[in-house]
A and B are shown apart, each in its own frame.
Chain A
Amino acid sequence: MDFKALGLMAGIEIHQQLDTKEKLFCHCPTTLRETEEHTGEFVRYLHATVSEMGEVDRAAAEEMMNRRQFRYFAYDTTCLVENDEEPPAPMNQEALEIALQVAKTFEMHPVEQVHTMRKLVIDGSNTSGFQRTAMVALAGVLPGDGEVETICLEEEAAQRVVDGTFSLDRLGIPLVEITTSPCMHTPEAVQETARHIGMVLRSTGRVKRGLGTIRQDVNVSIKDGARVEIKGVQELDLIAEVVRREVTRQVNLLAIRDELRARNASVGEETHDVTALFAETNSSILKRAKSILAVVLPGFAGLVGREVQPGRRLGTEISDYVKKCGLGGIFHTDELPAYGVTAEEVAMLRAHLGAADGDAVILISGSVEKAACGAKQVRHRARLALEGVPEETRKMLDEGNTAYMRPLPGAARMYPETDVLPVTITDERWSAVEVPELLSDLARRMEEELGLDPAVARQAAYSEHLPLFRAAVQAGIRPNLAARTVLGTLKELSRAGVAVEAVADQDVLTVLAAVEAGEVAKEAVPDLLTEVAGGTPAAEAVEEHAGGVSAEDLAAIVAKIVADRIEFVQDKQMRALGPLMGVVMEEVRGKVDGKKVSEALRAEISRVI
């Protein structure tokens, strides 16, 4: 696809959780919990309210179509602020400091007085029905021609456990939202920018790491299309594919629009009750429905079933809208007969409705109320198909497809958080903010100063264990040994099921110092760390492994092993060295450096052959 010719405009919003001691508007720790650890739960309803401008936000209005009860899990690490039962504390200044640091790195203009706003979100993910958010800085620069539009400091939403149940541990964790202008014109550029911003954020050393701690929203539009916001892309490597698939979707929706217009297709106001028509049906879904409604879409035949993204059709898009009414989906004549609906029933339906061959018929079934809501949504989405691409907020599905979430919210969803006083950012405060060294620069510097391999230097710089690596080098550990242990051994042990989280940074340093002092062999490091993870104090573990094998002892061990395998050695000559290394190493169990073992073995083999 020629994205430039298609007029692709894309921007991203990156949400990064900050690693602060306390939450943004209360004094709870920013600790994530297992849901089974919850110590209390409660249920609430949310109601759409009129904004300060006198409007109800359209996204909020749609969420209200289906009034839902939400359930929340509370913990001994959450408080009444998360419960929406206590006014918020003043804004966490540590979080603001990090936001300012990021802002300065992007050469942004901080606002002079930061005002906390309430952003209406009534999908249940916030107990209050809004998310607190504050604009901190404006207008920054990205490599190339990119622009950072704004950086906002926000509170994280509660995490959905299942359906309408949310966990309050995540609610209120500070995050920065970095919004770029729609300055990217290829899917790859979007991914590259996201990667760069992520690197800058990690350069502060004060952001949370791990799955779910950073999320990207991608804004995409093409010429004649519409702005679509895709929420919550967690994997960086999928961003380009998400953009590609959204462009495909918009191109296909525009083609469907053109075809509909050429056919003079339309959407009527009428909904037909066809419940009686299916009284004898064998379709299990229709059989148990209290109400079956039909909407005729003149001129839509064949297009409802047309694919807009791999495996997703216009019919799927209509179905997504219907799901907002609490229904499972729809049937449409482009896919029928199927699902237990017979060809005779389809013919009868068409005849009953007077639908021509070129018309599509959509069936909506469910309770009387929900079916009526669904029919309204079908007509609404079908009308949007005549216009082309609707402006929407969409959620990401597997492999980069997307599904409808809600209309794009407008500015009507923002109103002041009256319980939080504004914060003034003085010139002195701004001047005092330090710009961190970028990880990309750090990697280059470590490569030069520490003589690390470029890939290792990069891995060390970008690793969440960077502080430990630095401490090790600072303590006089050889950089390669430090890198090998911190970046490799710990991960390998973790994969092997060793509880490495129980190993304190200081323990690692103790073990490495013992290696450097020649007390233990570097081969002993995995064993030592495993023992420490199992509860043995580091010093004790080192002592156990230290010494015990003198040069004479080693020579004796080697001589015995070679003597026991003399035929093998004479047969293989020096090639016996490799296989016998393992045997000796097993015997000395990391108490002797591999290099010394190799030397002793080589000498012994040379002696006997």
Chain B
Amino acid sequence: MSTYMTGDIVAASARGHPVEGIYITDRDGMAVLKLKSGYNIGVDHETCTLVRRAGDQPAPAVPTVTQDENLPELAIISTGGTIASKIDYRTGAVTSQFTADDILRAVPGLTTVARYRAEVLATILSENMTPSTWQALARAAHAAVSDGAKGVIVTHGTDTLAYSASALSFMLDTPAPVVFVGSQRSADRPSSDNVMNAMCAAAAARSDLGEVAVAMHATTDDDLCAVHRGTRVRKMHTSRRDAFQSHEMAPVATVAYPSLKVDLSPEAVRRGETEPALHADLEERCGLLYFYPGMPEEAVRVYEDFKGLVIAGTGLGHVSSGCIGALREMVDAGTTVVMTSQCLHGRVCDRVYDTGRDLLAAGVVEGEDMLPETALTKLMWVLGNVDDTEEARRLMATDLKGEIKRRSDYGL
């Protein structure tokens, strides 16, 4: 390991040619130096000698954020993720380490839309989220709304953003919008979608919406954000700006950029339609299983001790005949099993084919047209809030927060 510290001035040899630069870090056994030109190169550690230690360099001045007291107040709850990421100078990797105030500095335009109170709930990558983070998030959002915030913005990593949004949809009754937002391209690049997404999220959080939603790019263009219902949204692309899509319904709103004009859809829940309420209990012993041809029965039995299991089955909602016995035993033992479809679009119907009828006979609940991930967070919430199995089965088949539609529209 290196004896140098980031910022030290080091002399070295690049295959025989003398160089001098700022020591950055060690990488794959070599010392990384930043040359005067700004380029980094890796050099043999053995050739390095210290020229001088890094001085106590003054930290760059942090601009103060000035807020307009005449604007409505929004709460920003920060959890980490790409929208709040920056480059770690030492490792060269992208990490989440922004505070909510940093977001206001990174997107100065936000202060023209509202004034903000900010809270850092977590600084984690979204794959490290847990149901307990969702609970903390639900409590924080509820507190903010109860305390008079006009709306809430939750900054979040995009990979599991849809899980969090659907979980909060069930845990919260909110008269004000709770808008999740993320970015697909890191905040340190001039092309980051964080600016537009954050601006649109703020506009949505100030609007007449009254539900949990997700605001992200509607297309690859920087001209429109879509606001998706929390229970109906899915990340459909690994990297595009418009990765988030509403399933089986149109977005509940759009926000034009840069005008920030918000258009609510007729289906959007309006501000003030409900009283604020928090039901933050969750049953964490719930699983989500993606069925595949040839899946051994043991794979199902892994979930035997779970309270609930969502299956992403094939087509209309099937698993192989060989797995049905295990499912029957689990249901008999008290596990609530819900069937959804890998097709994502469309509705489960287990009354068409034999295996489907066997599944119904085994006690599996048809998950209607719910997204598998939404079915999972809903099952956690339902089992966290009702003890009676039959009531749980009934609730799973009932639309609670716009996650189930009775009719399958044509054309979506």
How would residues 183 to 214 of chain B score, 1 for a CB under 8 Å from any chain A CB and 0 otherwise? Answer: 01111111110011000000000000000000
Segment from A109-117, A285-293, A308-316, A489-497 that makes contact with B: A109-117
A45-B195, A46-B191, A415-B87 known; A86-B239 Cβ under 8 A = yes
Chain A contacts for B35, CB-based, 8 A:
135
Tell me if B41 and A114 are in contact (CB < 8 A).
yes
Tell me if B39 and A42 are in contact (CB < 8 A).
no
B122 to chain A, nearest CB (A): 22
Decide if B14 is an interface residue (CB 8 Å cutoff): yes
Tell me if A112 and B42 are in contact (CB < 8 A).
yes
Decide if A47 is an interface residue (CB 8 Å cutoff): yes
Chain B contacts for A48, CB-based, 8 A:
190
Decide if A129 is an interface residue (CB 8 Å cutoff): yes
Decide if B44 is an interface residue (CB 8 Å cutoff): yes
Chain B contacts for A418, CB-based, 8 A:
87, 92-94, 186
Chain A contacts for B258, CB-based, 8 A:
45
A113 to chain B, nearest CB (A): 2
A225 to chain B, nearest CB (A): 22
A85-B240, A129-B189, A424-B42 known; A44-B16 Cβ under 8 A = no
Tell me if A416 and B191 are in contact (CB < 8 A).
no
A227 to chain B, nearest CB (A): 14
Chain A contacts for B89, CB-based, 8 A:
52
Decide if A573 is an interface residue (CB 8 Å cutoff): no
Tell me if B189 and A43 are in contact (CB < 8 A).
no
Q: How many CB-defined contacts (below 8 Å) exist between A and B?
A: 141
A44-B221, A122-B190, A422-B28 known; A112-B39 Cβ under 8 A = no
Tell me if B27 and A42 are in contact (CB < 8 A).
no
B83 to chain A, nearest CB (A): 13
Tell me if B38 and A49 are in contact (CB < 8 A).
no
Query: Which B-chain residue is minimally distant from A71 (CB atoms)?
Result: B221
| Interface residue from A49, A109, A150, A415 paired with B37 (Cβ < 8 Å) | A150
Decide if A597 is an interface residue (CB 8 Å cutoff): no
Query: Which B-chain residue is minimally distant from A410 (CB atoms)?
Result: B38
Chain B interface, >50% SS class: loop
Decide if A413 is an interface residue (CB 8 Å cutoff): yes
Decide if B43 is an interface residue (CB 8 Å cutoff): yes
Tell me if B43 and A111 are in contact (CB < 8 A).
yes
- Complex Cα–Cα for A145 and B269 (A): 76
A42-B220, A43-B221, A139-B17 known; A113-B39 Cβ under 8 A = no
Decide if B407 is an interface residue (CB 8 Å cutoff): no
A52-B87, A109-B16 known; A47-B190 Cβ under 8 A = yes
A104 to chain B, nearest CB (A): 12
Decide if A463 is an interface residue (CB 8 Å cutoff): no
Query: Which A-chain residue is minimally distant from B257 (CB atoms)?
Result: A45
A45-B196, A49-B189 known; A414-B42 Cβ under 8 A = no
Decide if A166 is an interface residue (CB 8 Å cutoff): no
A85-B220, A117-B40 known; A55-B195 Cβ under 8 A = no
Decide if B30 is an interface residue (CB 8 Å cutoff): yes
Decide if B15 is an interface residue (CB 8 Å cutoff): yes
Decide if A275 is an interface residue (CB 8 Å cutoff): no
Task: Show 26 A/B contacts (Cβ-Cβ < 8 Å), sorted by A.
Answer: A45-B195, A47-B190, A53-B60, A55-B60, A60-B190, A80-B239, A85-B185, A109-B17, A110-B14, A111-B42, A112-B42, A113-B42, A115-B27, A115-B39, A115-B42, A128-B190, A135-B35, A135-B37, A411-B37, A411-B38, A415-B87, A415-B188, A418-B87, A422-B28, A424-B42, A430-B15
Chain B residues within 8 Å of A, Cβ to Cβ: 14-17, 19, 27-28, 30, 32, 34-44, 59-60, 87, 89, 92-94, 184-192, 195-196, 219-223, 238-241, 258
Chain A residues within 8 Å of B, Cβ to Cβ: 42-50, 52-55, 60, 69, 80, 83-87, 109-115, 117-120, 122, 127-130, 133-135, 138-139, 150, 152, 410-416, 418, 422, 424, 430
